[in-house]
Homo-oligomer: A and B are copies of this chain.
Amino acid sequence: MKTVPRISETEWEIMRVIWATHPITAAEIIAKLMEEDATWHPKTARTLLARLVRKKVLDCERKGRAYVYAPRVSERECVGMASESFLDRVFGGSLVPMLAHFVEERRLTRKDLEELRELLEESYKGSGPRRK
């Protein structure tokens, strides 16, 4: 069971861009980051990219005069780890209170509620007696 290296808060912003689109060059990544938040500094982003490569979270390959980056770990996997860790840390691992918090805290649209209801239906059907 390989463990995904820890991805820091700022690194997540970069990873999200790369998971969304790859392979992708540093310049493109930086452009996308700055669209969201103009305070991103290119040098900073490049440092973070290098770190992610060093951590083996990203792959980089020369492409002409620049590098293109691609993820080496799946988003699914990382989301899983981060979610697990968050759940444990903040809610002591109890799922229902956590979900309750979000449902109560945030005003959900009717549409959101519909979607969630459907999800639950699905899950309900799936939850047979053979649950570990």
Stretch from A22-30, A39-47, A58-66, A81-89 at the B interface: A81-89
Count A-side interface residues using an 8 Å CB cutoff: 42
- Residue of B whose beta carbon sits closest to that of A131: B107
Query: Is there an interface contact between A119 and B100, defined as CB atoms closer than 8 Å?
Result: yes
A residues 68-110 near B (Cβ < 8 Å) are 79-80, 82-83, 85-87, 89-92, 95-96, 98-110
A124–B89 Cα gap in the complex (Å)?
A: 29
- Residue of B whose beta carbon sits closest to that of A10: B89
A109–B129 Cα gap in the complex (Å)?
A: 9
Say whether A35 faces chain B, with CB atoms less than 8 Å apart.
no
- Residue of B whose beta carbon sits closest to that of A86: B86
